[in-house]
Amino acid sequence: MRVPNALYLLIAAVTIYLVRALPLTLIRTEIKSPFIRSFLYYVPYVTLSVMTFPAILYATGSVWSAAAGLAAAAAAAWFDRGLFGVALTGCAAVFLSELLLL
């Protein structure tokens, strides 16, 4: 038996709605726990990191050049370069390492 695509979309929509709506309806008071507040504060950063990190490693022709670009970009960010400088440093490192590896 084939399940229609509309059923999958409906299940996904209900799931997303429940995940977003239940906290708003069930938690009416301010959250006072420092642990929970700090946990909720860092959730967007962790989620973005978890989604971005695998894409960084597999975006180039080699995992080694991607790791070199990641290391160079992290070093540039450590030394307070701007967003453009970090991106340019990472791209240059990937380009140079791809030239050297081939």
pLDDT tens figures, 38-89: 998 998 899 888 999 999 989 888 899 999 999 999 999 999 999 999 999 9
At 9, list the tokens: 């979309």
pTM across the whole model: 0.62
The neighbour count for residue 74, using CB atoms within 10 Å, is 12
If one counts the domains in the chain, the total is 1
| Host domain of residue 65 | 31-101
40 lies in some domain: yes
82 lies in some domain: yes
pLDDT at 35: 93
**CA dist 36 → 18, 28, 40 (Å):** 20, 15, 6
Residue 40 to residue 43: CA distance in whole angstroms:
5
pLDDT at 20: 86
Looking at 1-5, 11-15, 58-62, which range is the least confident one? 1-5
pLDDT at 102: 65
